[in-house]
Amino acid sequence: MRLANSTSEVEAAQALRYKVFYEEMGARPTPQMETLRRDFDHIDERSDHLIVHDPLHQDPGGSIVGTYRLIRGDKIRQMEEFYSSAEYDLSPIMRFSGPVLELGRSCVAPAYRCRSVMQLLWRGVAEYVSANGIGLMFGCGSLPGADLERHAETLSYLHAKHMAPETLRVRARADRYEPMTLRDPAMLDITAARAGLPPLIKGYLRLGGVVGDGAVLDREFNTTDICIIVETSRITDKYARKFIRTSPTSSVLRPALAA
């Protein structure tokens, strides 16, 4: 687990993203993406790309089996350069007093979707956050399928139980806003609602994550999106000890070396 340290490694991570998001999940690629078989955009150029690689992986696409895209607030010039800004008004986040980090494009190759690979990705994010003094993480979390009714119980649960405080409550842009309260909060089936949460979103909630106001239907990626926000100061010691190693030299900051 480390940061990508070459153009070829970034392109390999983009190829993995293409396989997961477009070939597996049904997102709609641009003609150029379809030709190159890579998922890419202008944000990639200002991002760090966390990768998990397996030298024994036999896939023709290379050894990268997991990836996460990380973009620090100090690397952008204006709010619109964050990926999430296309869906949410990020003004509350831009007013946050400390360094911020947008997380996105997380994916793992099908054969590697196990606890150990996800823990490597989580550890990489945790070390990156620690090394860069990040005070707040955020990003779009996705539920499969652009279908509000399919996720009515889960969206209503998130709105009722995990809404961000006013100071951090981003709101979906007016032209994309979809209400999250689709069921009576008093009648929610909490067990069913939580069962509808993808593992990644469950992980953010365990870290103390909260959600913004409004869902967004992303028809290009065939997902229903919510904005997740995590203040790193609120992450419990239990999870901090689990994912951040005590060594003063982070492997994530040495791209030439594997963890």
Please say if the pLDDT value at position 114 is more than 60. yes
pLDDT score at 252: 47
For the chain, which residues make up each domain, given as ranges?
1-77+99-134, 139-249
Amino acid 240: pLDDT: 62
Which pLDDT belongs to residue 193? 92
Q: What is the pLDDT of residue 77?
A: 76
CATH architecture of structural domain 1-77+99-134: 3-Layer(aba) Sandwich (3.40)
pLDDT digits 0-9 by tens, 57-105: 666 556 899 999 999 999 887 888 899 999 999 999 999 999 999 999 9
Tally the C-alpha atoms within 13 A of residue 179's C-alpha that lie toward its C-beta. 4
Mean pLDDT of the chain: 88
Q: Using an 8 Å Cβ cutoff, are 206 and 236 in contact? A: no
SS3 state at 194: helix
Q: How far apart are CA 181 and CA 158, in angstroms?
A: 9
- Decide if 111 contacts 196 (C-beta within 8 A): no
What pLDDT, in 10s, does the model give residues 148-183? 999 999 999 999 999 999 999 999 999 999 999 999
List pLDDT tens digits, range 195-244: 999 988 998 998 899 999 999 999 999 999 999 999 998 886 656 665 55
